[in-house]
Protein backbone atom coordinates (compact mmCIF):
# COMPACT_ATOMS: atom_id res chain seq x y z
CA UNK A 1 0.00 0.00 0.00
CA UNK A 2 1.06 3.58 -0.63
CA UNK A 3 0.59 4.54 3.03
CA UNK A 4 2.95 1.72 4.06
CA UNK A 5 5.69 2.85 1.68
CA UNK A 6 5.22 6.50 2.72
CA UNK A 7 5.65 5.53 6.38
CA UNK A 8 8.74 3.46 5.63
CA UNK A 9 10.27 6.29 3.59
CA UNK A 10 9.65 9.01 6.17
CA UNK A 11 10.75 6.78 9.08
CA UNK A 12 13.97 5.99 7.23
CA UNK A 13 14.61 9.66 6.44
CA UNK A 14 13.94 10.73 10.03
CA UNK A 15 16.28 8.07 11.43
CA UNK A 16 19.01 9.05 8.97
CA UNK A 17 18.73 12.69 10.08
CA UNK A 18 19.09 11.70 13.73
CA UNK A 19 21.99 9.34 13.02
CA UNK A 20 23.83 12.09 11.12
CA UNK A 21 23.49 14.68 13.91
CA UNK A 22 27.25 14.91 14.50
CA UNK A 23 27.91 15.88 10.87
CA UNK A 24 24.82 18.08 10.54
CA UNK A 25 25.05 21.62 9.24
CA UNK A 26 22.87 24.63 10.02
CA UNK A 27 19.99 23.28 7.89
CA UNK A 28 19.56 20.24 10.15
CA UNK A 29 16.79 21.71 12.32
CA UNK A 30 15.00 23.03 9.22
CA UNK A 31 15.08 19.50 7.80
CA UNK A 32 13.70 18.09 11.03
CA UNK A 33 10.98 20.73 11.14
CA UNK A 34 10.03 19.73 7.60
CA UNK A 35 9.96 15.99 8.20
CA UNK A 36 7.83 15.98 11.36
CA UNK A 37 4.58 16.96 9.57
CA UNK A 38 5.30 14.29 6.95
CA UNK A 39 5.83 11.77 9.73
CA UNK A 40 2.55 12.76 11.36
CA UNK A 41 0.72 12.40 8.05
CA UNK A 42 2.32 9.04 7.26
CA UNK A 43 1.51 7.47 10.61
CA UNK A 44 -2.00 8.92 10.48
CA UNK A 45 -2.52 7.14 7.14
CA UNK A 46 -1.71 3.84 8.91
CA UNK A 47 -4.33 4.38 11.57
CA UNK A 48 -7.14 2.95 9.46
CA UNK A 49 -6.14 -0.56 10.44
CA UNK A 50 -7.42 -1.93 13.73
CA UNK A 51 -5.14 -3.94 15.97
CA UNK A 52 -4.79 -4.41 19.67
CA UNK A 53 -2.56 -1.68 21.12
CA UNK A 54 0.94 -2.84 21.93
CA UNK A 55 4.38 -1.35 21.85
CA UNK A 56 7.66 -3.15 21.25
CA UNK A 57 10.18 -1.41 23.45
CA UNK A 58 13.81 -0.92 22.55
CA UNK A 59 15.44 -1.57 25.89
CA UNK A 60 18.99 -0.65 24.86
CA UNK A 61 19.31 2.20 27.37
CA UNK A 62 22.97 2.84 26.54
CA UNK A 63 22.11 3.52 22.90
CA UNK A 64 19.15 5.70 23.90
CA UNK A 65 21.35 7.76 26.23
CA UNK A 66 24.10 8.08 23.62
CA UNK A 67 21.60 9.37 21.03
CA UNK A 68 20.00 11.71 23.56
CA UNK A 69 23.42 13.09 24.58
CA UNK A 70 24.47 13.73 20.99
CA UNK A 71 21.18 15.47 20.23
CA UNK A 72 21.31 17.54 23.40
CA UNK A 73 24.85 18.66 22.58
CA UNK A 74 23.84 19.61 19.03
CA UNK A 75 20.73 21.51 20.17
CA UNK A 76 22.43 23.44 22.97
CA UNK A 77 20.15 26.21 24.20
CA UNK A 78 17.47 25.19 21.68
CA UNK A 79 16.85 21.93 23.55
CA UNK A 80 14.73 22.91 26.55
CA UNK A 81 11.22 24.31 26.34
CA UNK A 82 8.29 25.02 28.60
CA UNK A 83 5.51 22.50 28.84
CA UNK A 84 1.96 23.64 29.43
CA UNK A 85 2.04 23.24 33.20
CA UNK A 86 5.62 24.27 33.94
CA UNK A 87 5.61 26.99 36.57
CA UNK A 88 8.86 28.73 37.38
CA UNK A 89 10.06 32.27 37.15
CA UNK A 90 13.77 31.51 36.99
CA UNK A 91 13.84 29.47 33.76
CA UNK A 92 15.49 26.56 35.57
CA UNK A 93 12.44 24.32 35.60
CA UNK A 94 11.75 23.82 31.90
CA UNK A 95 10.73 20.20 31.61
CA UNK A 96 10.39 19.83 27.83
CA UNK A 97 13.39 18.57 25.89
CA UNK A 98 13.59 18.42 22.11
CA UNK A 99 16.47 15.94 22.44
CA UNK A 100 14.23 13.66 24.52
CA UNK A 101 11.36 13.99 22.04
CA UNK A 102 13.58 13.20 19.06
CA UNK A 103 15.27 10.29 20.86
CA UNK A 104 11.97 8.65 21.74
CA UNK A 105 10.59 9.09 18.22
CA UNK A 106 13.85 7.76 16.77
CA UNK A 107 13.94 4.66 18.98
CA UNK A 108 10.34 3.71 18.19
CA UNK A 109 10.81 4.27 14.46
CA UNK A 110 14.14 2.42 14.42
CA UNK A 111 12.53 -0.50 16.22
CA UNK A 112 9.97 -0.77 13.42
CA UNK A 113 12.61 -0.44 10.73
CA UNK A 114 14.51 -3.36 12.23
CA UNK A 115 11.37 -5.53 11.89
CA UNK A 116 10.55 -4.64 8.29
CA UNK A 117 12.47 -7.40 6.52
CA UNK A 118 11.19 -10.23 8.70
CA UNK A 119 7.74 -9.02 9.79
CA UNK A 120 6.55 -5.97 7.85
CA UNK A 121 2.98 -6.12 9.18
CA UNK A 122 4.26 -6.25 12.75
CA UNK A 123 6.52 -3.26 12.08
CA UNK A 124 3.60 -1.20 10.74
CA UNK A 125 1.31 -2.28 13.58
CA UNK A 126 4.03 -1.38 16.09
CA UNK A 127 4.46 2.09 14.61
CA UNK A 128 0.75 2.74 14.72
CA UNK A 129 0.35 1.44 18.27
CA UNK A 130 3.50 3.01 19.67
CA UNK A 131 2.46 6.33 18.11
CA UNK A 132 -0.81 6.21 20.06
CA UNK A 133 0.79 4.95 23.26
CA UNK A 134 4.05 6.90 23.29
CA UNK A 135 5.75 8.87 20.56
CA UNK A 136 2.72 10.73 19.23
CA UNK A 137 2.90 13.22 22.09
CA UNK A 138 6.64 13.62 21.52
CA UNK A 139 5.92 14.36 17.85
CA UNK A 140 3.40 17.05 18.76
CA UNK A 141 5.68 18.61 21.39
CA UNK A 142 8.72 18.58 19.07
CA UNK A 143 6.70 20.13 16.24
CA UNK A 144 5.40 22.87 18.53
CA UNK A 145 8.88 23.67 19.85
CA UNK A 146 10.40 23.75 16.37
CA UNK A 147 7.61 26.08 15.26
CA UNK A 148 8.42 28.41 18.18
CA UNK A 149 12.13 28.33 17.34
CA UNK A 150 11.34 29.17 13.73
CA UNK A 151 9.04 32.02 14.74
CA UNK A 152 11.88 33.50 16.83
CA UNK A 153 14.39 32.83 14.02
CA UNK A 154 16.35 30.38 16.18
CA UNK A 155 15.92 27.35 13.98
CA UNK A 156 19.54 27.31 12.84
CA UNK A 157 21.55 25.07 15.11
Predicted local distance difference test score (pLDDT) of residue 86: 47
Q: Which residues contact 151 (CB under 8 A, 6 or more apart)?
A: none
Average pLDDT, 10 consecutive residues per value, the chain (157 residues): 87 97 91 95 78 60 94 93 62 75 95 91 88 92 93 78
Return the SS3 of 84: coil
Helix axes 120-130, 98-115, angle to 10 degrees: 160
Predicted local distance difference test score (pLDDT) of residue 64: 92
| Total-model pTM | 0.87
Q: Which residues contact 12 (CB under 8 A, 6 or more apart)?
A: 113
Q: Which residues contact 119 (CB under 8 A, 6 or more apart)?
A: none
Q: Which residues contact 54 (CB under 8 A, 6 or more apart)?
A: 125, 126, 129
Domains belonging to the chain, first-starting first, are 2-151 (1.20.120.1550)
Amino acid sequence: MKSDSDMIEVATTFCQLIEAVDEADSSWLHQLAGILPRLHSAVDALRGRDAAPFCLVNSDLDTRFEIFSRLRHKLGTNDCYWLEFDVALDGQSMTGSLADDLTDIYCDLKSGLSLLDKEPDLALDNWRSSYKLHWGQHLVDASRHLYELDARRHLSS
